[in-house]
Structure 1
Amino acid sequence: MFTSCSASPGPEDFAPAYPAETARFHDLRKDMTEPVPSTELIEPGVLLLASGGHSSPPTHAIEADGRHVGLEPMIAEAIAESLGLTLKWQAMPWKDLYPTVNAGKVDAVFYHQAVLPERRSVVDFTRPYGLFNEALLVCDDSAVRHPEDLRGKRVGALMNTTNMKLALALDGVEVVEYLTFDKMLDDLRDGAIASLVDDEIFLDAYATRGFRTAFAVATENQYAIAVKKGSPLRERFDGAIADLIASGRLEAIWKENIPGYTFTTPEPHPDRGVPEIAQIVRATFPPK
């Protein structure tokens, strides 16, 4: 549980002016203070969230005793607290996350859910609780430090991810699709690809394993909570996240878990396709 704040924020703790999108969600707060009807939950009084079965620190790790720790679990605890619910987790393979929430077996999915149009067709997403940038991982002895250094080379990315969009936005590279990160990392180590794309915060763990980050791109991928289509819980989550932003609690949780990365208020923004991401790359890295 988050312990840096001595008490849950009350109405007097919120300043009257917010960005328009935050204010829109904040207006839901009155409804959020009402008890969550048992008809909206799998188990009365309990918020049952699904996660993947693997640890991915610093955002979400599962310890040996089954406890969920890191950025996402701390945000989830704060949301459950604001809704007056007890938090429970159910870990499962990634492929089972959406089928499980759509079958009504969990209340929501809270596990590295980058918002993508393809995913919006299957589930509803809350407003984002974080904006995450991406980076290119290379071997320590690689000369790659700029997107132009990758021209004519092979770059790996996981299929159907925001990372794939960035790979496709790089000029002159051959994009290689992967189903698993482990296989992609093995190919990078063996020289089958020159680089791979992943969210920047996950790549720090490889700095002492023969790899380094070549460069990062401010793609600001939106991470959000996924719920079943039409679920009334989406608005309840939206209101709770807006409260965490307005009170400063979300920023405090971010800084506690990933202090090396600047917190940006996670306002919703339109989905960015390959052309938009290519523009970001060009603006960030002028021609050499």
Structure 2
Amino acid sequence: MSTANDARIIRLACIDSAALPLFDKSPDGATRAGYEPEAAALVASRLPGGAAEIEWVMLPWEDMIPAVRRGDADAVWCGQGMTEERAALVDFTRPYAVFNETLIVRADDPARSPEQLAGYRIGAIANSTNMKLAETFPGVELVSFGASDDVFSDMIEATRSGEVDGFVDDDVVMIPLGQEDPDFVEAFTVPTGNRWGIGVAPGADALREEIDTALAAVIADGSLEEVWKKWMPLLAFPL
């Protein structure tokens, strides 16, 4: 957290990727649209220590948590399921979203259950809740993604080209993909109920508590639910 020209600034790490309704690729490297950026702006405006402006720190997926740990960003607000592995690296706030997980395959693929995936090459983001789910599929070959700035698009194109047979990600971005792109279909969704939180550096208790207080306020007054309904009207607000 810093100040510039008397304005309070919070630096939030995220990838720059087209993954609506969560977020879209930034047109200018600074402004962003989608549920996560709008929820972040809402919370930043309600911080007890004073409203803050957001400076987005755009990074490859695998670099976000290291950036927070070394102080190059104040927090990571970018699809962070609160796994034990991540909780050992950052301190999480209360959740601002809860999602299930979906497998997407090509439209002509008949697989509709994990038991039909033996021999498939299945992609997911490295060290993610999605990869943990993929690890439970019997007989599959796992393919890790995450080294680029646009990992979601990478997984889409890898599936489209046949480099992988399908990939796992959260239902919020996968169900629209299966419905809107004729090349893909939703194979199945697993009700994992993954909680997403904002990760701050270990020991940054003051910032974590501020974010938690602001989150509690926007959940209680319904304003976060309104942002949710704007971007994800077909999904029930889970908090």
TM bin, normalised by shorter chain, reads 0.7 to 0.9
**1:234: how far off?**
0.6
* Structure 2 partner of 1:75: 39
**1:226: how far off?**
1.0
Q: Is 2:221 the partner of 1:247?
A: yes
Of residues 218, 221, 226 in structure 1, which corresponds to 2:199?
226
Number of residue-to-residue matches in the alignment: 224
**What's the C-alpha RMSD, in Å, of the aligned pairs?**
2.1
Shift of the 63–127 alpha-carbon distance from structure 1 to 2, 3 Å rule, reads same
Whether contact under 8 Å (2:100, 2:189) holds in the other structure is yes
TM-score, normalised to structure 1, is 0.71
* Structure 2 partner of 1:54: 17
Of residues 144, 151, 171 in structure 2, which corresponds to 1:178?
144
Of residues 81, 87, 104 in structure 1, which corresponds to 2:53?
87
What is the aligned-residue identity percentage? 36
Secondary structure in 1 matching 2:57 = strand
| Alpha-carbon distance in structure 1 between the residues aligned to 2:9 and 2:25 | 20
| Alpha-carbon distance in structure 1 between the residues aligned to 2:101 and 2:161 | 23
Shift of the 120–139 alpha-carbon distance from structure 1 to 2, 3 Å rule, reads same
**1:133: how far off?**
0.9
Whether contact under 8 Å (2:123, 2:164) holds in the other structure is yes
Shift of the 54–192 alpha-carbon distance from structure 1 to 2, 3 Å rule, reads closer
Unaligned residue ranges in structure 2 (runs of 5+): none
| Alpha-carbon distance in structure 1 between the residues aligned to 2:158 and 2:41 | 38
Shift of the 251–152 alpha-carbon distance from structure 1 to 2, 3 Å rule, reads same
Secondary structure in 2 matching 1:45 = strand
Whether contact under 8 Å (2:41, 2:54) holds in the other structure is no
Q: Which segment drifts farther, 111-120 or 203-212?
A: 203-212
Once the two structures are superposed, residues 120-171 of structure 1 have per-residue CA deviations (whole angstroms, 9 ceiling, x without a partner) of 121111111000111010111111123332244333323211111111222x
TM-score, normalised to structure 2, is 0.84
**1:90: how far off?**
2.6
* Structure 2 partner of 1:208: 181
Moved over 4 A (4+): 180-184
Secondary structure in 2 matching 1:188 = helix
Equivalent residues in 2 for 1:1-288 (5 A)?
41-43=1-3, 45-65=8-28, 66-83=30-47, 84-94=50-60, 95-170=62-137, 172-180=138-146, 181=151, 184-203=155-174, 204-205=176-177, 207-231=180-204, 232-265=206-239
**1:209: how far off?**
4.4
Secondary structure in 2 matching 1:173 = coil
